[in-house]
Every structure is written in C-alpha cells, then in structure tokens.
Amino acid sequence: MISLKSPREIRAMEKSGAVLAGMHLGMRQIIKPGISSWVLEEFARKYFKQAGAIAAQIGFEGYKYATCVSVNDEICHGFPRKKLLLKEGDLVKVDTVVNLDGAYSDSCWSYVVGQASPEVAQLMEVTKKALYLGIDQCQVGNRLGDIGAAIQHYTEDEHGYGDVREFVGHGIGPTMHEDPMVPHYGEAGRGLRLRKGMTITVEPMINTGTWKADTSDPSGWLAKTADGGLSCQYEHTLVITDDGPKILTSQDPEADRDYLYDDEYADFLAHYGAIATAVVKKHFA
C-alpha cells in the first residue's frame, strides 16, 4: 500500500533526514587511507546515539549493522569489516536508514579515499548527476518510468555505463521499505503515476561495465559487479509536492536550495552537523 504523507509527517521525515545527512557530513571527516571500514560503523553508532536516533538497519531481516559499507566493485549491502582497510583511491559507498521518533529516512553517499583517479571521478560525477536527473522527474502527474528512463538514458546511452537492475528505490515511511518500487531504468510514460505526498527514494547504482550483479556471496547480502568493474551510488529520500520534488536528506542546503521542503531544514542540518563534528573530535580525531 502507498501512503500519502501529511505536512506533519513530512516535517518529521525532514528532521530525520537532517540526522542522516549529518552522519554523512561526519563520514567525510573520517574517511582516509589506513582506517578499517568498521570505523565508519563505529562512528555511525556513536553519532546516532548522540543525535537521539535509531539505526534502523540493525535487525532488519537479520542485518546486524547500522551501515552498509561497499567498496569498489561492491554494489551494495557490504558489511562494515574490521579487516577491510581503506586505501588511497578506493570508492566507498556508505548507506544507512535512520528512525527519528518514528520518522524514517534513507540515504547513500559515495566517497573516494584520498585522491580520485580520473575513472573514479567521472563515475562519481555521472552517478550524482543521474540522481538529480531522476529526482527532477519526480513531479506530480509524472510516472515511475519517467524517473528510470532519465537515469538510464544518461548513464547507459550517453556514457556507456551499466545501470543496475537488481536493486531499486522504494517508498519509505512509516516503515523502511514500502511501495512503490522505483526502478532506475525503464520507459518514459509507463508505470504508476506520481502523487502529491508520496515519499520515495531515488538511488541509482551505476557500474563502469555491465549492469549485471553477482549476488552469490555466502553472506546472502553483498552484491558485486558481475565483471569486477567499479560501482557508484548516490541516494536521497524525497517527497513529491505541487512545487516539485523536495529532498529530505540534503547535505548541502545552499546547493539544494530549490529542492528544500522549507527554510528550517538548514537549521536542522546545522544542529546535527555540529553533533557529528563533536563525535568525530571526541572519538576519531
């Protein structure tokens, strides 16, 4: 069932989104060569506790961690690992879901460890632009296929990348994963029509090679590119309004000013960003 959110529910998700964005602001302060991916998990747990939020992924279908940390050819759902040391040039995707007072938000962001190679830099740039091309299609009256078609045309037709099919965006709130499913590929003008008050994620996963995923990992979670190529992902939670799509997990209110639900988001993010910085300085400096 698809739920249409009230202004009160959207405001609650906006604040939850600021908590999650604040986590990502902290992540960029601690990701560096030589640390293990487990450090990212430790930071997220300490930060969420200080922010008064719940790491919603812990316990979801048996998942044990607050974050998914996927590196290089890992598409998604990588476990944070103490023995996985990040090295110069690695492409790291950090994905998590937050529950703040019953309001959910979901966001993944990609980071490069140290200096990006030209290949990594271009993949990150294209994937991030694809995210926003998809978001721009989230207009009242458009269809789900319009989102996927915009992303697929840009990433596959224009850049020759692989647009992952096995994993898609989704509705969110009041639980983590809800209808509708939001593919990042497809045909314009097809699929469910978008309505005011729908809250969804757009989260393209783009590979340098084939779009196909290898899901044979014995963990039952980790997915890798089928050909060993690099994979990148960016994800926002957003709400569809009469004034267009409004991002609820922005890390940059100035750059995203046309996508913000209201003016209070910047204050929310400043508050939680300060908490993230304090946690970094106390535990990870």
pLDDT tens readout for residues 170-200: 999 999 999 999 999 999 999 999 999 999 9
pLDDT tens readout for residues 54-112: 999 999 999 999 999 999 999 999 999 999 999 999 999 999 999 999 999 999 999 99
Helix (H, G, I), strand (E, B) or coil at 188: coil
What are the boundaries of each domain within the chain? 7-284
Identify the sign of the CA torsion 17, 145, 123, 230: positive
Helix (H) or strand (E) holding 95: strand 91-100
Per the annotation, binding residues for substrate are: 77, 177
Average pLDDT over residues 279-285: 95
**Rounded CA separation 271/264 (Å):** 11
pLDDT tens readout for residues 125-169: 999 999 999 999 999 999 999 999 999 999 999 999 999 999 999
Per the annotation, binding residues are: 77, 95, 106, 170, 177, 203, 235
Per the annotation, binding residues for a divalent metal cation are: 95, 106, 170, 203, 235
Q: What is the pTM of this model?
A: 0.97
> Residue 22 contacts by C-beta under 8 Å, 6 or more apart in sequence?
47, 51, 269, 271, 272, 273, 275, 276
The architecture of the domain spanning 7-284 is Alpha-Beta Complex (3.90)
